[in-house]
Structure 1
């Protein structure tokens, strides 16, 4: 019978050969998932059963095929929570936490928020749970993603809305009453090379026509209608959009326009404030 440290080492070697970015980390997390133990506890745990080894090796092969780790464990860590994810929904990325940081800093007490293109609900979940004083609506058009969204937002107070975020009738009752609109829309240009794991994300949540701006442009217009004067719009974009994203905000009626880098120094999200009435 092999030990957990040995089977983890074997697993990490297989993932490294497959080109996985963090082989040891992923091997340990999958072993913890299979065993039900913490990563630290695995170092001193009893040897795994044959069934556990077989299950782990099966998951390792799927990960070697570059299936996202989060699909294999069924959850994705995001800020202070764990979100249920799997086939049919975009796996939230760490970079998006920076957008949430900014949003929380610009959200007034008791404010109203619309999270457009909400996907798994990562942004809406974080805002609703970290700021229980605010009201949050989360809009998602894709039926499969919406099921994950509903599940993740259950009990948070945030309201899931199955609709097209850029349609004029979506949440029209909130037009002119919203303090903050956030979005992590599809934005990758068709010609951009992406990580192998991205092929497991729904293509409609990733790509947005040749330039990657097919959703961002109409969404800026819709956000301007939702927002009250002085309200803010913040959205994530491709790192090739460092110039185009702020320009879209400027021509859509926003002022105090800025673009923000991620921790790697790449353009990551843009923000703007709807012009105040004279």
Structure 2
């Protein structure tokens, strides 16, 4: 029998809590659920009103992994969903993680949380811009930091504030709060800046994905601004060899990064960081901080 837990009045079966998901650290499923509950305030704020896609890895990162946008079978009837357009003729329903019971139900499935750059009530109208800075070996997050600083300053030239988080894998994500704008316009603007970054730092930055070009450089991935794409949510645990988290970071940490290990954060690091810094991505949630997308 699975233990039944009461979460804010919802009865949830939480299964196999002693199962080791991360053999390298001995981290169990129960510890992952405990982490999600402990940072729920910040995590839920960034999931709110965004249709969630799940990268599921029920047997740990080394087991089978599969990406799903549809509502998982057996979802409780109290889990909220949103109708999401997939094409001109079709739409689908995706989960909205609006409260702690839904968060814990989803975490029990063992998932990474991924969200689009738009909210459910305005599909395809982005309220944030994102760059995914992805290093090609032997480049690391240290090189990503150099590119991030260039992008921060270039965005500032256009009156746009940038905020940063680790990807929870090898790179960095930069995020900008926007007044809602069509995703295709945000994508075009982001691509233009990625091209500029490559022109300014040809030895370091790359705006094309071609694998042959990647070694030693940072791919400035602008594609996640597409309405159909998603990005790992802030504070989500990643399906990596260790239970690393996509963690907000300060610009001081980016400026001072000389060792890739300095920007690796695991589940045990996040609650103390929230106590020390608060939610460093809080400005993304403040409509007063949103800026208009620069014109052509």
TM-score of the superposed pair, with normalisation by structure 1: 0.26
Q: Which structure has more strand as a fraction of its residues?
A: 2
Higher relative contact order (CA 8 A, sep 6+): 2
Higher helix fraction: Structure 1 or Structure 2?
Answer: 1
Give 1 or 2 for the bigger CA radius of gyration: 1
* TM-score normalized with structure 2 length: 0.25
